[in-house]
Amino acid sequence: MIKDTSKRILFVNYAFSMFRGGGENFDMNIANSFKKLDIDPYILTIKPINEPIRFPHNEKKIRQITVLAIWTYDAASFLKINYRIFKPISSIIRLFGQLTFEVSSFIYIIFNHNKYEYFFTNYLPLLTFLVSTTFQKKVIMRLPGPLLSRYDKLISSAAPLIVANGDAYRKMYNLNYIKLKYLEVGVDDNFSCPSDLKCIPSLNSKLSIGIVGRLVPVKGLLELIDIINFLKPINHEFLIFGDGPLRIQLNKKINSLSLNKNIFLLGHFNKVQLINQYKRLNCMIMNSKYDNFPNTLIEANACGLPVWAPNVGGIDLIIENGVNGRIVDSKSNYLQKSQSLNSFLEEVSAGYYNNSKISSLTKKKFNWLMAAKTLKGYYESI
């Protein structure tokens, strides 16, 4: 019998099996890239006690291990969205679910820590602290956004190394009590600029404009509908890809403003479906109230699509005005944002943007294998 001598890395992500967004996308892609570096990736995630798993991954691609814990993100989000008075309680509920996962994960690691050379946690400060101090293992924690609470900051100060990018890195850079390194994201090779991209329509023709994201308040979609309403008369279609708790409210608002012939809620699309949909688009827009470093903008750029978004979070680190899109001042009112959006759409209609150049620059800058090599180097330096 031949002994397996390959090194192993364990990615620990509370929400991976529920796949909420950017953090899960990061772990999935960089885990696959580690296989090219002869390091065997495993992902430890939740098997909810109270709900079914929503995002079953292909086991042949990434081997998953699940531990029992309580899934509380949906309940916390519901309270936060519908009952603002319960916002502090919603944070406690979210943290409670996360802690049950961290404890369950630590119990698993107690009995299996010798199987892995490296550990990578996604915003799990308690687990990071426990594994690094108990077993003297090489543990790195990634921040998909800035540290929020005093609890997070206190526990995270004991992490051997924290990696971040975008606005999280920028905001954490000057905190001398944490060990911080920059780690860029990548973009899936399947996101590319097709030769038949519908990118240079005739002037004043109908544009297909994509909006991608979860239907939650932080994405600013209710406000975006008001911005679009100022464009009337509207000669374009706005396609919203995503699902979430605001779907009913969004649908009511679209109908109340008589925009149901221009704005379409298309529901959730997986990555393959989304890539196919990008081929019918001319550009992408978003109106997030905050986004650390939105993958959707990078993926749109990789497909050759120019993007329009406000200067919140790390968006200014993605968009270069006039090259791959336009940034609007987030403090502008609806009318001012609408005027900015209209100018951007006029540029798209006129064929102002070089779509193949947008794609090639994006794919050169954002590369998962390069990110995995950087992360491997960080482990070797610990």
pLDDT digits (tens, 9 = 90+) for 117-164: 999 999 999 999 999 999 988 999 999 888 877 888 888 888 899 999
d(CA 283, CA 28): 26
Look at residue 91 in the predicted model and tell me its pLDDT.
83
Look at residue 272 in the predicted model and tell me its pLDDT.
84
Residue predicted with more confidence, 82 or 321: 321
Q: Is the pLDDT of residue 36 over 70?
A: yes
CB burial readout 241-259, b (16+ within 10 A) else e: bbbbbbeeebeebbeeeeb
Look at residue 169 in the predicted model and tell me its pLDDT.
93
CATH number of 7-186+367-381: 3.40.50.2000
Percent of the chain clearing pLDDT 90 (strictly above): 66
Instruction: Grade residue 56 by pLDDT with cuts at 50, 70 and 90.
Output: low
CB burial readout 72-111, b (16+ within 10 A) else e: bbbbbbebbbeeeeeeeebeebbbebbbbbbebbbeebee
Instruction: Grade residue 194 by pLDDT with cuts at 50, 70 and 90.
Output: low
Q: CATH topology of 7-186+367-381 equal to that of 208-364?
A: yes
Q: Is the pLDDT of residue 18 over 70?
A: yes
Give the chain's mean pLDDT.
89
Size of the chain, expressed as the number of residues it contains:
382
Class of CATH domain 208-364: alpha beta
Quick one: how far is CA 89 from the chain centroid? 25
Look at residue 5 in the predicted model and tell me its pLDDT.
54
Is the whole-model pTM more than 0.95?
no
* DSSP conformational letter for 233: S
* Helix runs in the chain, H state only: 22-35, 73-82, 87-112, 125-135, 150-156, 166-172, 221-229, 247-256, 271-278, 295-302, 334-349, 355-365, 368-381
Q: Give the residues across from 143 on adjacent strands.
A: 164
Q: Where along the chain do its domains lie?
A: 7-186+367-381, 208-364
120 and 151 Cβ atoms separated by less than 8 Å:
no
d(CA 157, CA 127): 13
Look at residue 27 in the predicted model and tell me its pLDDT.
92
Q: Is the pLDDT of residue 60 over 70?
A: no
* Helix runs in 211-294, H state only: 221-229, 247-256, 271-278
Residue predicted with more confidence, 169 or 25: 169
Q: What's the mean pLDDT in 57-74?
A: 80
* DSSP conformational letter for 206: P
Pairing of strands 180-182, 161-164: parallel
Q: Is the pLDDT of residue 336 over 80?
A: yes
